[in-house]
Amino acid sequence: MNLLKILYGGNKNEINEKKNKSNLSFVILIIILFCISFSFAYIIYQKNISSQPSSQTSSQPSSQTSSQPSSQTQFNLPFNLFTMNNTTSPPVESTYSVNPETNSAIDNVKQNITTSTLNSINTETPKTTPTSHPLTPNVNTQINENGLLINPYGKYIDFSGNVLHTNNLYGYNVNNKIVNSNGVEVSNIKIDNGYMLNNNNFIINTNGNLIDLSDNVIINNGIYGYNSNGYVMTTTGSVAPDRNIKIDRNGKLINQYDLLVNINGRLTDISNNLLSGNSIIGYKADGNLYSTVGDRMDWINFGCFNVNPLIQSIPSFRGSNMSFNQCKQIALNNNDTIIGLQNGSDSNVTSGDCFTGKPTNSFYAKYGKATSCGTFGGTNINNVYGLINTTKQWTNKGCFNENLNNTRIITVPSGDPVTQNYVSTSGNNAYANLGTNNTVNNCKYMAQIYGYDLAAVQAGAACMVGNKSINYSINGAASSCPTNGAGAANVNNIYIIE
């Protein structure tokens, strides 16, 4: 006890406390020495492991390291002392390297690796999951288990990365050859811009049906199809000038207005006959005429009108012994919207003289309404038809008084072609006498054919046309309005296109 007092000093309790601390320090020292010894032993072990041939390491799948469990924890000590792993898998291979020229232990390890061992390493079974390939065009391209190019989503692609519209039945291998889904090269399939093509270079689906770029099946008429750029083409290789030309559900070519056209975009009739020079009105597949804004156009009968044989009111003579359809077709070919059928002897006649004209040069009502008329008019009588927009609707605005001093509220400039149709052109008392048969409709047709949107019918037979912007109610509403819609003396029944 006296010796302990000398060593530690203090009373008995203090001596015991210092003694316990001394014992703890000794235990810590032993643990530190053990760790140092273990570390040096592990370094020697790592030196022996690193002496294996480099080919063994490089032949391992690139995914070996990344496949280690996520529970592994590596401590990055100054010289990579050790790796802690709470699983039964072997420790991660160290990157610690030794110069083989200065380490005889490494040479001994190399000599102990047999040829059979190296062969077993190099013949490891390849992965079946998609992998990259040195011949693939970009980093997003992968190779599936059958050697076909795919994107990260498993879709078959070409060398430009375009997804193929082949439903994964055909694709490309790394040699840019077309193969089936088993990787077998095929020669009866063509692929361009991601689409399968038939022998005419028309895009098709996996069932061999012609399709458009939206995968919609189209009519196989044996003439037209879409190429891989979305343009219509023919079996002879002719290509439409733009994508506005499409194939409709009947296998006909149409433009952006759904009007029938040929491969060059020229308007045609339903029999593919060209409409020469016409770019405003054409046929749809239903056989009817339409404008480029989609309005229905129809040939409407205006009635029969007298003709001066010396000065034809519809100027262009197109031929004799022509049918009504032939005359209409010639009119369309020449951008004419007014035709006159003339010199037919009775209502059973199916052909006659054909005259056509435009609103700017045709004054069909100039010589007044004829008292009798056949299908093809008569001698010096035109049965007149005009191409009218029947989509536009007329509204009856009611009856309004005319000016009591007989000055018309509707006036048309004297240079306007419509004035040439007026029977009476004295001062402002200008109007066309359309007779009492269908006067209201004929007055509306006259307004439309000459480009106006207001028609005024007065006294059952007189027709005046103009713009709806005029103040047609300036003299007030009429006290009465005939039910026939044809106005009365000094009373205009007004119609406008809304």
206-247 pLDDT per residue, tens: 888 999 999 899 988 889 999 999 999 999 999 999 999 999
In a domain, 242, yes or no: no
DSSP designation for 201: S
Claim to verify: residue 415 and residue 468 sit in the same structural domain: yes
The answer to whether residue 399 scores a pLDDT higher than 80 is: yes
Same domain flag for 371 and 399: no
Question: Which of 102, 117, 132 finishes a domain?
Answer: 117
Domain presence at residue 6 = yes
Q: What is the pLDDT of residue 431?
A: 65
Structural domain ending residue among the three candidates 389, 414, 437: 389
Q: Over 50: is that where the pLDDT of 77 sits? A: no
Statement to judge: residues 2 and 105 lie in one domain: yes
Tell me how far CA of residue 342 lies from CA of 236, 306, 400, 445, 477, in angstroms.
Answer: 45, 10, 38, 20, 42
Say if residue 407 is in the same domain as residue 467.
yes
The answer on 398 and 382 residing in a single domain is no
HSE, side-chain direction, 13 A CA sphere, residue 412: 28
- Residues 411 and 430 reside in one and the same domain: yes
Mean pLDDT of the chain: 77
Q: Indicate whether 419 and 471 sit together in one domain.
A: yes
Mean pLDDT of 309-333: 90
Q: Are residues 375 and 403 in the same domain?
A: no
Q: Which of 389, 406, 428 is the last residue of a domain?
A: 389
Number of Cβ atoms within 10 Å of the Cβ of 353: 19
Whether 181 is in a domain gets the answer: no
Predicted pLDDT of residue 383: 93
In a domain, 31, yes or no: yes
Those residues whose C-beta lies under 8 Å from the C-beta of residue 35, and which sit 6 or more positions away, are none
What's the domain range around 5? 1-48+77-84+93-117
User: Do 26 and 111 fall into the same domain?
Assistant: yes
Q: What is the domain count for the chain?
A: 3
410 located within any domain: yes
Q: What is the DSSP string of 118-174?
A: HHHHHTPPPP-S-B--TTSSSTT-EE-TTSBEE-TTS-BB-TT-PBPSSTTSEEEBT
Each residue's pLDDT tens digit, 30-63: 888 878 877 777 777 666 655 554 444 444 444 4
In a domain, 215, yes or no: no
Query: Looking at the predicted structure, is the pLDDT value of residue 437 above 80?
Result: no
CB of 445 within 8 A of CB of 394? no
Lowest-pLDDT range of 4-8, 14-18, 270-274:
4-8
Tell whether 202 is covered by a domain.
no
Residues 450 and 369 in one domain: no
Residues 4 and 109 placed together within one structural domain of the fold = yes
**How large a percentage of the chain has pLDDT more than 70?**
69
Mean pLDDT for the stretch of residues 387-408: 85
Residue in the block written with tokens 């029947």: 390
Q: Are residue 315 and residue 384 in the same domain, yes or no?
A: yes
Residue 148 lies in a domain: no
3-state class (DSSP) for residue 398? strand
- Tokens read off for 248: 């409709």
